[in-house]
Structure 1
Amino acid sequence: MSARPADVASLDAILAALYDVISGPAGQQRDWDRFRSLFAPGARLIPTGGPAGQPARATVLTPDEYVLRAAPGLERDGFFEREIGRSVDTFGRITQVFSAYDSKRLPTDAAPFQRGINSIQLLNDGTRWWVMTVYWDAERADNPIPARYLKPSGR
């Protein structure tokens, strides 16, 4: 499956597409082919979590495994995630983004039900951008998002 050229033409575009493709109202099926098209072969999504007071754990997923795990809840409950701050480092063809986010059931919700940081590694192969990994952790009372990650990216 080919990516939409506009989705992978720039860093801003691929990050916007990544948030857009998982967001939508309850009852709306997401465009999972579009989602998959953003990722390089071998890419991974890695949520972190675990019960309070226990060691953290990371779950390593392929894009297909993420879809199987996340699609039912996203589509049943509604889910809107947006970037609320960004920090970017680039060296050569690789870029590391700390993308702070908030998540709501409806875009009009007064407050998000969750915030956190997506650590996103990307490759620019000279023709397009590819997501290599998305590794994330949620904000908690003992783990607030540092102010430096809540600054706009200057896009």
Structure 2
Amino acid sequence: MLNETPADDCQAIEALVARFLQAFSQTPDAPVDLGILHSLCLPQALMVKCVGAERQVYDLASFIAPREALLNGGGISGFREYPLEGRTDVFGQIAQHLCSYEKSWLAGGQARQGRGVKTFQLVRMNDGWKISAMAWDDEREHLVCDVEGKLPLPVPVRFSKESGCVYNGRPDPTRR
């Protein structure tokens, strides 16, 4: 069970997540500079794209480079990404933040939008909270947040030493 989370920790983590997402937003007067992510993340942070059949795992540099090129290359404009709803759990010097998010942009003169869920793993360093890992998945058929962007209800999970994870009272079918 997680301890009570001090409000200032939750506020600091939510502000850090908001700065992370805002870093990708385009403005007409300046190019996108994702260099701010170096101050928000540990140098060894991992970013994992879970959209589609293949998982793509990035270190910080390989995550930043193609996104900066896309956002500054002229193919899309008006890109914005922002959190909708989130929850934060803190235990001592570690935390996790799960949030739904929305993104919108123009591509080829057409308005586009999408939503999904991101999970952030964080550690408290001497200079404050830092992201150690982030993973995301986007909405698609049969995998959606509700109309207001609320997070999907978690599947009840409990752990049993004998059988591993148990989902909804049934043993995990992937473990034999």
Structure with the greater relative contact order (CA < 8 A, sep ≥ 6): 1 or 2? 1
User: How many angstroms apart in 2 are the aligned matches of 1:118 and 1:136?
Assistant: 4
TM-score (norm 2): 0.67
| CA RMSD, Structure 1 to Structure 2 (Å) | 2.3
21-30 vs 91-100, which moves further:
21-30
Among the aligned pairs, what percent are the same residue?
23
Q: Which residue of 2 aligns with 1:103?
A: 103
Runs of 4+ in 1 over 3 A off after TM superposition: 25-28
Structure (1/2) with the larger strand percentage: 2
- What SS does the corresponding residue of 1:141 show, helix, strand or coil? coil
Among 67, 71, 74, the residue aligned to 2:68: 71
Q: Structure 2: any 5+ residue segments left out of the alignment?
A: 1-10, 153-176
Which of these two proteins has the greater Rg computed from alpha carbons? 2
Among 35, 44, 59, the residue aligned to 2:46: 44
- What SS does the corresponding residue of 2:58 show, helix, strand or coil? coil
Q: CA deviation at 1:17?
A: 1.0
What residue identity is the alignment partner of 2:133? T
86-95 vs 26-35, which moves further:
26-35
User: How many angstroms apart in 2 are the aligned matches of 1:20 and 1:148?
Assistant: 20
TM-score (norm 1): 0.75
Structure (1/2) with the larger helix percentage: 1
User: How many angstroms apart in 2 are the aligned matches of 1:18 and 1:74?
Assistant: 15
- What SS does the corresponding residue of 2:23 show, helix, strand or coil? helix
Q: Structure 1: any 5+ residue segments left out of the alignment?
A: 1-8, 51-55, 151-155
User: How many angstroms apart in 2 are the aligned matches of 1:44 and 1:27?
Assistant: 30
